[in-house]
Structure 1
Amino acid sequence: MRRLAPAFVALTLLAGCAVAPARPADVVPLNHLPALTGDYFRVESREVGRAFHIYVRLPEGYDPAAATVWPTVYLTDGDSLFPILAANHLFLTYDDGLPEAIVVGIAYGGFGPATNRRNIDFQAPGAGVADQQAGAGAFQRFLKTELIPDIERRYRSDLSRRVLFGQSRGGAFVLYSAVTDPDLFWGRIASNPSITPGIESLLEPAAPARRRDLGLMVVSGTRDRPDLQAEAADWLSVWQARPERPWRLRSERVEGGTHAANATDAYRRGLNWLFDPPPEPAP
């Protein structure tokens, strides 16, 4: 067999490289997913000491120059929940009449333990929890002093209608936030919260609240792990017996719901309840 000339080989390789044109720098895949139209930016958190990737879905008809402001939903575990729940919010607007919303996904950028530190950021203090593992306080300060002010500077966000959604350990962080800083969010949804360790700090008396229209929903699937269902039931039984709690509290069960696959059901039920105000008390 004759050997190919080096120049011919080089030309062949160059021709192969030219088949796939380079993608323009200003085009990203999300540009072609209108249900996720919005923005992205990176935050280097001083409070947590790590970076987060922030994905933002903007409502249909969003106009940064208009006077309209929008409810804003903050999602923990944005790596997985943002593309699911942010896009689904459009259908909830169509079918359930929910208001459009800005949806903010707080992502780590990967699932590996070196990158994804949800085991620290969502962990409340409690028995058996080392101080360096209980990062919920720092993560909440990141939300309160860094991320939320940044979102409310960048976008037409309604400061009176912030909602926090969390799943599993993220759901436990929702409960931590509700107990330690009730006013930070108008509404909260805890989906299949994984509460222990750290349940002790979630049963302490709640911090005082200025607002009287706050709401918290806890959602459990009937096919979630039995121990997690029992934890949620224990937490609810304590707080349902406390008339001094700073938020309306509601629990829901998703028949046949599993630990993670029914996050859309929890999101839908929680938002429908939060945006359906309770009747005025009789005079």
Structure 2
Amino acid sequence: MLKFVAALLLVLLSAPSNGSERSDNAKTPIDYLPALAGDYFKHDSKSVGRPYHIFVRLPHGYEDNPSKNYPVIYLLDGDSLFPMLAPTHLFLTYDEQIPEAIIVGIAYGGFGDVNKRDIDFHEFSSQESGEPSGPDKFLKFLKHELLPTVSNRYRTDESKRVLVGQSYGGFFVLWSALQDPDLFWARISSNTSFGGERARLFTEASESTNKEGLVAITVGTKDTQSRQGFVKEWSDTWMDSDSAPWTVKKFVMEGGTHAATIAETYRQTLKWIFQRKEPESDSQG
């Protein structure tokens, strides 16, 4: 599987970065994979001090609907999640009536030393020397660099931004929900890994101006007992809190593993996010 994803990334990386939306007269290999086709650009982050590869899947019919704005779904670990979930989203528009969306994969360009997900999502040791932590820098990159860039390039519905993270990415999703509740409309944290930073996810949330955010937290029954216990405690804590700046829903994926259930997680959580009829604090499973 990793070999397939790596090979696919080589194809995706061959797409040019021209500072604007791609045009039909500049065909690249990705244009022959319509479930993934859209755009690519490399972003050198001033906040983090490292580059990111940004892959964008544009909705089917995007060019034919110039007045339509779309929800935007940001995928952490885009190296693996973008080629998996961008086509999945297309199928969900067919079978589950999930609205089309712009899918943005935030990638490192590899699985080796170039991949700094542990620093970006979970490394707080730099705070001991008075420096911003890895997650602090990455959140700043999202808020002040990537989100404005995507908004300027594409027709986005800024009231419908969604952040998706798996494992350590799921940790960052929850941590960022506490730090900046209003930055995303909805968040999906799948099989959250917390390492030694568990307590950071039970601190007081920053003030929210709208109180309309959504947080879906999920865990598989084949994941570790510690992760299952964490998800129960975290969801129970915030469901019972009057100060929670978002509505929380817990999903327990029967037979689900730590990593391989992400497509079904994506399906179930997006159905809740886009099709819920009334505000609720609930759990499933």
TM-score w.r.t. structure 1 length?
Answer: 0.85
Q: Please say if residues 171 and 189 of structure 2, whose CA atoms lie closer than 8 Å, have aligned partners that are also in contact.
A: yes
How far 1:35 moved relative to its partner? 0.6
Partner of residue 208, structure 1: 207
Structure 1: runs of 5+ lacking an equivalent: 1-22
- Quote the Cα distance in structure 2 between the aligned partners of 1:220 and 1:80: 19
- Quote the Cα distance in structure 2 between the aligned partners of 1:38 and 1:65: 15
Residue 71 of structure 2 is aligned to residue 71 of structure 1 = yes
Deviations 1:110-162 (CA, angstroms, capped at 9, x unpaired) = 001x2000001001648x98877941111011000000000000000100000
How far 1:279 moved relative to its partner? 2.6
- Quote the Cα distance in structure 1 between the aligned partners of 2:62 and 2:121: 32
Partner of residue 165, structure 1: 164
Q: Please say if residues 15 and 29 of structure 2, whose CA atoms lie closer than 8 Å, have aligned partners that are also in contact.
A: no
Q: Please say if residues 167 and 260 of structure 1, whose CA atoms lie closer than 8 Å, have aligned partners that are also in contact.
A: yes
- Quote the Cα distance in structure 2 between the aligned partners of 1:227 and 1:61: 44
Runs of 4+, deviation exceeding 3 Å: 23-28, 128-134
Classify 1:173/1:129 alpha carbon distance in 2 versus 1 (closer, same or farther; 3 Å): farther
Partner of residue 117, structure 2: 118
Classify 1:24/1:182 alpha carbon distance in 2 versus 1 (closer, same or farther; 3 Å): closer
Q: Report the RMSD for the aligned CA atoms in angstroms.
A: 2.3
How far 1:27 moved relative to its partner? 4.5
SS of the residue corresponding to residue 85 of structure 1 reads: helix
How far 1:240 moved relative to its partner? 2.4
Partner of residue 11, structure 1: none
- Quote the Cα distance in structure 2 between the aligned partners of 1:194 and 1:106: 19
How far 1:256 moved relative to its partner? 0.4
- Quote the Cα distance in structure 2 between the aligned partners of 1:24 and 1:253: 38
Residue 229 of structure 2 is aligned to residue 230 of structure 1 = yes
Residue 177 of structure 2 is aligned to residue 178 of structure 1 = yes
Classify 1:273/1:124 alpha carbon distance in 2 versus 1 (closer, same or farther; 3 Å): farther
Letter in 2 for 1:54: I
Q: Please say if residues 123 and 133 of structure 1, whose CA atoms lie closer than 8 Å, have aligned partners that are also in contact.
A: no
Partner of residue 36, structure 1: 36
- Quote the Cα distance in structure 2 between the aligned partners of 1:129 and 1:171: 24
- Quote the Cα distance in structure 2 between the aligned partners of 1:232 and 1:271: 18
- Quote the Cα distance in structure 2 between the aligned partners of 1:162 and 1:36: 19
Structure 2: runs of 5+ lacking an equivalent: 1-13, 17-25, 281-285
Partner of residue 19, structure 1: none
SS of the residue corresponding to residue 195 of structure 1 reads: coil
How far 1:66 moved relative to its partner? 1.4
Partner of residue 12, structure 1: none
Give the number of equivalent residue pairs: 257
How far 1:170 moved relative to its partner? 0.2
Residue 97 of structure 2 is aligned to residue 97 of structure 1 = yes
Letter in 2 for 1:197: G
**Which of 174-183 and 205-214 deviates more?**
205-214
> Could you say which structure has the larger radius of gyration?
1
How far 1:225 moved relative to its partner? 1.9
Classify 1:176/1:149 alpha carbon distance in 2 versus 1 (closer, same or farther; 3 Å): same
Partner of residue 107, structure 1: 107
Letter in 2 for 1:187: A
